[in-house]
Amino acid sequence: MKTKFIFVTGGVLSSLGKGLAAASLGALLKARNISVTIQKLDPYINVDPGTMNPFQHGEVFVTDDGAETDLDLGHYERYLNISLSHKNNTTSGAIYNNVIAKERRGDYLGGTVQVIPHITDEIKRFVLALGEGEDAPDVAIIEIGGTVGDIEGLPFLEAIRQLRSDLGRDNCLNIHLTLVPYLRAAGEFKTKPTQHSVKELLSIGIQPDIILCRCEQVMPEDLRKKIALFCNVDPDAVFCSIDVGNIYELPLSFFEEGFDQKVAIMMRLPARNAHLEPWREMVYNFAHPKGEVTIAIVGKYVDLKEAYKSLHEALMHGGVANRVAVNLRYVNSEQIDEKSAATLLAGVDGILVPGGFGYRGVEGKVNAIRYARENRIPFFGICLGMQCAVIEFARHVAGLEDANSEEFDKNSANKVIYLMTEWYDVHTKNVERRNETSDKGGTMRLGAYPCKIAPDTRAAEAYGTDLVHERHRHRYEFNNAFKDVLAEKGLVYSGVSPDDSLVEIVELKDHPWFLGCQFHPEFKSRPMQPHPLFRDFIRAAVEQKAKN
């Protein structure tokens, strides 16, 4: 196997930025012209994050092949500019699920099924799959979720311990991310939590090769030496991951530390310089905006930015594309009624209604959209946001007063958004993952689907092409029974599926910029390639601001 594996574990506490660190290392190796893939192993028992509450777990990131994955995969795609799949994320739940299915099938021939070797073998298979095939990458970075010491994480750690003996020393590298707090009162950095964390790792047989220390500022040299000595790593194998102003600065900061250089030497990777100019330029543009706009995000999960991670990033990318800073104003949709809309949305240059599930806050979203339409403020609706835009248009422009989505009102005579069961029966490529709760029935449309773009529309202007592929995660669809009625009143269908059966993008003609899409464009936006819809939405906001 030509692929070499880098394992990234975390200690002391969670939220140290392990995902960003792994993604940043990946970006640096890629900039050295080394092919890289990256995988996340999540210790929780859920089979995938698809059913998890975004409040608790953050956004569910959807891949082209329709896997519902951890939000770290979003960082990986953005930093590495690659497209990942179901092969890049698994959980304890999924691993156990596979093992139990095999046991039921009799694959283990009556043997006793145990954590070691059966669970660990299943984990190793999942990891090693990245190295299979002709286009296997030079390096696979494997991030183990959670913190060393967690009960759930043990089988994963045991698996990577074994992989090192299976694959040989030169082919594996262990990087451990810890926290080195700075105690202001004592005026000192503290290394003890790092020592304890490494001790914990050692007790399960893993000796880290590199220690990456999350710290508020760069640590002095003698402290690095101390950590190296106590944790038994090379003196030049202790690096700082300092707090950066913009997350895209992290690869540059790692580069300054010589982190990728050390990794390349230890793994005997070809000695090349990282070509970081394009990345530097992007970071420079982030740091030097020529203006700013304010975008209102009208949603339910306004308290938790993690729930809208990719969206947040895509808006920032759209800002960079226009050389402006994007200020976000999270507005709780439950508070927006017809009267408060003007106050709550006063002064914003654009209004965005993101995806979501459930009725709570929907009427507020409809009110916000009405405000955007009537006051000619740039509007971008994503998934549920697009569905709400159709509801708003049907109610207030086409006069279908009780227009609604089947998700929220099963008895409405005007279900402009509905469950398109016949379509799912024939076409869907995903088997139902949520049957348990299902009066919702049918399936979710997940992953990338093609979309034809109609000429002379905002969508065509943005994409500059007549066919795109965008990622979906929803159950309900635009109801074609209302296609003509709404078109007569001015709703434009600027994106539809190649067979015309599904409306994917709607927009308004005589409005500065009003567009709703059934898919989630934010999943495909990258800092080096801002998504065209976000780019144009922000451009419209810039123009709006100039008018005020």
Q: Which residues are catalytic?
A: 383, 520, 522
DSSP string, 343-386: HHTTT-SEEEE----SSTTHHHHHHHHHHHHHTT--EEEETHHH
Q: Is position 357 an interface residue for ligand GLN (rule: CB under 6 A)?
A: yes
- Which 456-495 residues touch ligand GLN, going by CB under 6 A? 473-476
Q: Contact between 407 and ligand GLN (CB under 6 A)?
A: yes
Distant-in-sequence, close-in-space partners of 188: CB < 8 Å, separation ≥ 6: 182
Nearest distance from residue 472's CB to ligand GLN, in Å? 8
Helix (H, G, I), strand (E, B) or coil at 96: helix
Residue 384: CB minimum distance to ligand GLN, A: 3
Q: Quick check: 154 binds ligand GLN (CB under 6 A)? A: no
Q: By CB neighbour count within 10 A (0-12 exposed, 13-18 middle, 19+ buried), where does 192 fall?
A: exposed
Which residue blocks in 204-276 are alpha helix, DSSP H? 221-231, 250-257, 259-266
Q: Which is nearer to ligand GLN, 472 or 539 (CB)?
A: 472
Indicate whether 10 belongs to the interface with ligand GLN (CB under 6 A).
Answer: no
- Binding segment (CB under 6 A) for ligand GLN, from list 15-23, 251-259, 353-361, 420-428: 353-361
Nearer CB in complex with ligand GLN: 312/474? 474
Q: How many residues sit close enough to ligand GLN to count as binding (CB under 6 A)?
A: 11
**Which of these, 248, 364, 301, 382, lies nearest to 59 by C-alpha position?**
301
3-state secondary structure 482-501: HHHHHHHCCEEEEEECCCCC
Distance CA 169, CA 167 (A): 7
The rounded distance, in Å, linking the Cα atoms of 24 and 283 is: 13
Residue nearer to ligand GLN on the CB measure, 458 or 475: 475
* Amino acid, single-letter form, for residue 471: R
Q: Which is nearer to ligand GLN, 174 or 387 (CB)?
A: 387
Rule CB under 6 A: is residue 307 a binding residue for ligand GLN?
A: no
Q: Is 381 in the site for ligand GLN (CB under 6 A)?
A: no
370 contributes a contact to ligand GLN by CB under 6 A: no
Amino acid at the residue 407: E
d(CA 524, CA 81): 9
- Scanning 232-240, 249-257, 276-284, 380-388 for contacts with ligand GLN by CB under 6 A, the matching segment is 380-388
SS3 9: strand
Count Cβ neighbours within 10 Å for each residue of 406-416 and write b for 16 or more, e otherwise: bbbbeebebbb
> Residue 68 or residue 77: which is nearer to ligand GLN going by CB?
68
First to last CA, the chain: 61
Stretch that binds ligand GLN, among 107-115, 300-308, 349-357, 533-541 (CB under 6 A): 349-357
Which of 19, 43, 356, 361 binds ligand GLN (CB under 6 A)? It is 356
Q: Is 406 in the site for ligand GLN (CB under 6 A)?
A: no
Q: For ligand GLN, which stretch binds (CB under 6 A), given 166-174, 327-335, 383-391, 498-506?
A: 383-391
By the rule CB under 6 A, 535 interacts with ligand GLN: no
Contact status: 355 vs ligand GLN (CB under 6 A) = yes
Residue 294 vs 501, nearer CB to ligand GLN: 501
Query: Strand pairing of 291-299 and 139-144?
Result: unpaired
Q: State the residues that interact with ligand GLN by CB under 6 A.
A: 355-357, 383-384, 387, 407, 473-476
